[in-house]
């Protein structure tokens, strides 16, 4: 039965990954993403239901559009597979519980913002508001009213910490050092993690971003690197490994 559930969540993740790719590419441009049908990027021909699943289109259509024969971007396929895998991992880690609902929200936030931030350097406020409400509801059912207020306080604390880092960076570099979306994102992290683990995401996100930033700068002289995806990868890593503040305290020897 567990194997069937794992397969089920993987398949659901494939469909949701396709939808999240559409949201992440259309919402920053203020385009409709619910009632408007997907189209080929090249010939603009409307896609059928089966063609809107990138992993199916990519392999069954020979990696080309059925109509104009232009090559299909493999990125959507990778994102879809990655989402399916993380949905399956979510079920495997948390079973059928409210923690699973929270985990699926973490995955959804991760995928949508990675698509949006990598393509447009934008983290849409609509996404942040939606998932703030989503996480607050999950927290209420998991921890009750007291736990919800604790995580609201954690979110405010992490928001202020990142805001302070942004102001410091602006002063040091004499220009905008960080996007406002990255600062707002920390509030959502606090709704899921406690203050210590949330602060750790900043350190890990910077650690993940540093080597890639150096490589991109040396190869392409790219100076603007989206920080949001690296923060989210660190956030998901901490969440799914079930790391606790006590683990951190014990590691530091306190």
Higher pLDDT, 39 or 246: 246
Which pLDDT does position 178 carry in this prediction?
83
Burial label for 6, CB within 10 Å (0-12, 13-18, 19+), is middle
Among 96, 119, 150, the domain-final residue is 96
Same domain, 81 and 195: no
Q: Rounded to whole angstroms, what are the CA distances from 198 to 147, 161, 177?
A: 16, 10, 20
Same domain, 253 and 136: yes
Same domain, 83 and 117: no
Tokens matching residue 114 = 């990675």
pLDDT in tens, 146-193: 999 999 999 999 999 999 999 998 888 778 778 889 999 999 999 999
Which pLDDT does position 76 carry in this prediction?
78
CA 97/CA 5 separation, integer angstroms: 13
CB within 8 A of 196, min separation 6: which ones? 245, 248, 249
Same domain, 74 and 178: no
pLDDT in tens, 194-235: 999 999 999 999 898 888 877 776 676 656 678 889 999 999
CA 142/CA 148 separation, integer angstroms: 9
Number of domains in the chain: 2
pLDDT in tens, 109-145: 999 999 999 888 899 999 999 999 999 999 999 999 9
SS3 207: helix
Same domain, 206 and 82: no
pLDDT in tens, 8-66: 999 899 889 988 988 998 888 887 766 555 665 556 656 666 566 666 666 666 656 66
CA 231/CA 209 separation, integer angstroms: 9
Return the residue matching tokens 């059912």.
141
Which pLDDT does position 177 carry in this prediction?
74
Task: Note the pTM of the prediction, 2 decimals.
Answer: 0.88
Q: Dihedral angle at the C-alpha atoms of 164, 167, 173, 174, nearest 10 degrees?
A: -170
């Amino acid at each position: 039965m567990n194997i069937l559930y794992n397969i089920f969540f993987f398949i659901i993740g494939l469909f949701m990954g396709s939808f999240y790719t559409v949201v992440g590419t259309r919402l920053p441009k203020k385009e409709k993403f619910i009632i408007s049908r997907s189209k080929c990027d090249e010939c603009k021909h409307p896609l059928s239901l089966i063609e809107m699943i990138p992993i199916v289109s990519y392999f069954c259509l020979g990696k080309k559009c059925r109509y104009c024969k232009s090559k299909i971007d493999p990125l959507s396929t990778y994102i879809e597979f990655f989402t399916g895998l993380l949905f399956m991992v979510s079920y495997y880690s948390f079973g059928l519980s409210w923690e699973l609902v929270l985990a699926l929200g973490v995955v959804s936030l991760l995928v949508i913002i990675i698509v949006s931030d990598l393509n447009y350097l934008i983290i849409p406020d609509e996404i942040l508001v939606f998932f703030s409400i989503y996480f607050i509801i999950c927290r209420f059912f998991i921890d009750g009213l007291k736990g919800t207020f604790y995580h609201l306080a954690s979110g405010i604390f992490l928001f202020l910490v990142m805001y302070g880092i942004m102001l410091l960076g602006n002063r040091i570099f004499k220009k905008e050092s960080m996007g406002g979306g990255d600062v707002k994102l920390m509030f959502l992290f606090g709704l899921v993690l406690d203050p210590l683990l949330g602060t750790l995401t900043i350190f890990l996100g910077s650690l993940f971003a540093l080597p890639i930033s150096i490589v991109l700068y040396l190869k392409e002289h790219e100076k603007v690197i989206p920080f949001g995806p690296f923060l989210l990868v660190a956030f998901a890593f901490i969440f799914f490994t079930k790391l606790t503040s006590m683990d951190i305290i014990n590691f530091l020897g306190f």
